[in-house]
Amino acid sequence: MMENLQVAEYRRITVTPIAGSLGAEIAGADDPLDLADLDDEQVAEIRAAWLAHLVVFFRGQGHLTNETYLGFAKRLGQPVEYPFVRGFDGFPEIIAVAKLPHETVNFGGIWHSDTTYLGEPPAATMLLAREIPPAGGDTMYANQYAAYNTLSDGLKAVLDGLRGVASSALADVSKTREDRIKDAGDPDANRVLEASHPVVRTHPETGRPALYVNIAHTARFDGWTDAESKPLLQFLFEHQVKPEFTVRFAWEPGSLALWDNRCVQHNPVNDYHGFRREMHRITLAGDTPK
């Protein structure tokens, strides 16, 4: 059975769920919400809504500058730099996630949790839409609490004792970074990063279990061969993005998304060839998955 979303009372914001499993749009309770000018109560309510709905969306934030965008991020956590693409001058924590009209591959265009090949993957990711194609370019998100909770008790017992090895070098995701690395890559962009994490992690703030493997980065189970790992991983990769676990968000210029990388996967849909799409991304520091 799918779990019900937490219902909360909000005084300073409105929270409108947009799918049954996860996702909500946040707006101001009385006036338009300006993420550059929030008081502490609004920040606390945004954080509560984010933890309850896993990914939250804000419209009409195109006025944010690099400085005020980073300022909003700092109200929620500690921005960190991405290991493969340099950020903007003066704002190294903000990177451009772009696909140009002549390109056919989009950055990160595969289901994944961000940078799970790090020992401490980010807790959260933020995207601010700067330029959007006339149609297409949506992003899909998947609830990994629900993915775990709907497994059988027998499979849960197996997974609870396993760790997954995540690598930055898997071919299907590596090719999605190539264009941006050529534009603004780190000099050490060809290095391989690996980390071992629990296949089922416990969220450090909610205490809830979430499935924590992903097709982009998880290469094998720790202590297993690739061949031994492949059948079970393939089942999990298909299971964890079933339609009933997902929400699909249609961007507008100035839309901003904030998602919980500890219990959410995402996939930017690559259906807008011939048009430019540019987003600005910030990730917030996380902890060692347990």
Question: For 33-64, how does the pLDDT look when each residue is reduced to its tens digit (9 = 90+)?
Answer: 999 999 999 999 999 999 999 999 999 999 99
Task: Indicate the helix (H) or strand (E) that contains 75.
Answer: helix 66-76
Distance CA 37, CA 56 (A): 18
Per-residue CA distances from 134 to 137, 139, 185, 247, 252 (Å): 9, 15, 28, 21, 9
The 10s digit of each residue's pLDDT in 115-124 is 999 999 999 9
**Calculated CA dihedral for residues 24, 210, 155, 193, nearest 10 degrees:** 120
DSSP state of 61: -
- Percent share of the chain, pLDDT over 70: 90
Res. 1: pLDDT tops 50:
no
**Band of residue 178 on the pLDDT scale cut at 50, 70, 90:** low
Distance CA 66, CA 26 (A): 21
pLDDT value of position 240? 98
**Band of residue 185 on the pLDDT scale cut at 50, 70, 90:** low
pLDDT value of position 191? 81
pLDDT value of position 4? 43
| Lowest mean pLDDT across 95-99, 142-146, 167-171, 286-290 | 167-171
pLDDT, mean of residues 240-260: 98
Closest by CA to 80, choosing from 52, 49, 131, 118, is 118
Residue 181 lies in a domain: yes
Residue 236 lies in a domain: yes
- φ, ψ (nearest 5 deg) of residue 9: -95, 130
Residue 8 lies in a domain: no
pLDDT value of position 189? 59
142 contacts 264 by C-beta, under 8 angstroms:
yes
Q: What is the CATH number of the domain that holds 116?
A: 3.60.130.10
Mean pLDDT over the full length of the chain: 93
Res. 25: pLDDT tops 80:
yes
Residue 290 lies in a domain: no
The 10s digit of each residue's pLDDT in 198-212 is 999 999 999 999 999
Residue 6 lies in a domain: no
Annotated active-site positions, please?
112, 114, 266, 281
pLDDT value of position 5? 47
pLDDT value of position 72? 98
pLDDT value of position 2? 40
Residue 155 lies in a domain: yes
Residue 159 lies in a domain: yes
Report how many domains make up the chain: 1
Q: Are strands 163-167 and 95-99 parallel, antiparallel or unpaired?
A: unpaired
pLDDT value of position 3? 44
pLDDT value of position 179? 55
User: Which domain range does residue 247 map to?
Assistant: 13-284
Secondary structure of 260-277 in HEC code, one letter for each residue = ECCCEEEEECCCCCCCCE
